[in-house]
Amino acid sequence: GMGWALLGVGLLLVLYTLLRHGLRSAPRPRARPALRGRTAIVTGGSSGIGAATALELARCGARVIVATRNALRGEAAASRIRRETGNEEVRFMHLDLSSLRSVRAFASTFLRQEPHLHLLINNAGVSTGGTTEDGFSLPFQVNHLGHFLLTQLLLERLRSCGPSRVVIVASSAHCAGRLHLEALGRPPPGLFSAFQDYCDSKLANVLHTRELATREQDTQVTCYAVHPGFVNTALFRHVPLWLKLLLVPLAWLLFLDASEGAQVVLDCATQEGLEPLSGRYFTDSGPQQPWAPGRDDRLARALWEGSERLVGLGAAEEGPSP
């Protein structure tokens, strides 16, 4: 009875501890180049991978803009990073990706106040849903459309400061993505709508990277999609309680912590000589082939054109093409 149950629990705990330490090798500390004089934007920079990325970029001497929705959290993150790194050039700027109006306001404020941009880290993400003020599904807008618009509005600045990089945080969940161009930006139907929506947005991230690389071939802007590993972050804060009870122990067991997840993002942002790999998809073992839907160049182009239409970008607004 009771004794066996306790023994079972004890064994499970031992197994859990062994697995946790066995599966998660310590991250290898990497040497990073000095980034003094470079300016970086990190979206969703107040928590999780974004905060870990912003911290490390600041440690390398970059000027870092923590671009996030919650001003209290954003200011707190920026001041924590300044304190920890001794780098005074870290500041918060308000950006709510679930509002295209906010994206435009952020871009125009940034372009007015900041002369340079060398690194754009499109990291912010949400896993579940609802609808935005613009009428799109929340994950698709935050994870893809808002970042798509942001990138286009900042592209001229990235070009003029080249060599510069865009790093887009995707996920291996893109393997289950399905983009229906006639229903782009609308929540998919069905029982697993929220999960499907997330996967679709991550496929959009991989395809956005691919098409951006193609379009920027003759410029000094390169871009990289990243699967940071399954990272235990606030991404799950909206899942129902019963699912949380299942996911949280698993998450602790198998997922990396945020600073480990940030390593791949930082590799793509700072590693020398990655330019020939622009448009590619990276995991912690380097550049990988994305799943089949993430290699579909026709779909990538159609997604680009559909995204331009949805965010209201005409050719006029992007400035002269190279």
The pLDDT tens digits of the residues spanning 189-210 come to 776 777 788 888 999 999 999 9
In this predicted structure, the answer to whether residue 305 has a pLDDT above a threshold of 50 is yes
Domain 32-232+258-308 has CATH 2.130.10.10: no
In this predicted structure, the answer to whether residue 118 has a pLDDT above a threshold of 60 is yes
In this predicted structure, the answer to whether residue 283 has a pLDDT above a threshold of 90 is no
* β-strand partners of 288: 281
Task: Give the domain ranges of the chain.
Answer: 32-232+258-308
Alpha-carbon distance of 34 to 284, in angstroms, equals: 22
| Per-residue pLDDT band at 230 (split at 50, 70, 90) | low
Mean pLDDT rounded to a whole number for the chain: 85
- What is the helix (H) or strand (E) element at residue 281, kind and residue range? strand 281-283
What is the per-residue pLDDT for 85?
A: 96
What is the per-residue pLDDT for 322?
A: 46
* Helix pair angle (297-311, 146-160), 10° resolution: 100
What is the per-residue pLDDT for 276?
A: 96
Question: What tens digit of pLDDT does each residue of 15-67 get?
Answer: 666 665 555 555 555 788 899 999 999 999 998 889 999 999 999 999 999 99
Alpha-carbon distance of 246 to 238, in angstroms, equals: 14
Percent of the chain whose pLDDT exceeds 90: 57
Q: What mean pLDDT comes out for the span 119-128?
A: 90
**Is-catalytic flag, 198?**
yes
Alpha-carbon distance of 98 to 146, in angstroms, equals: 7
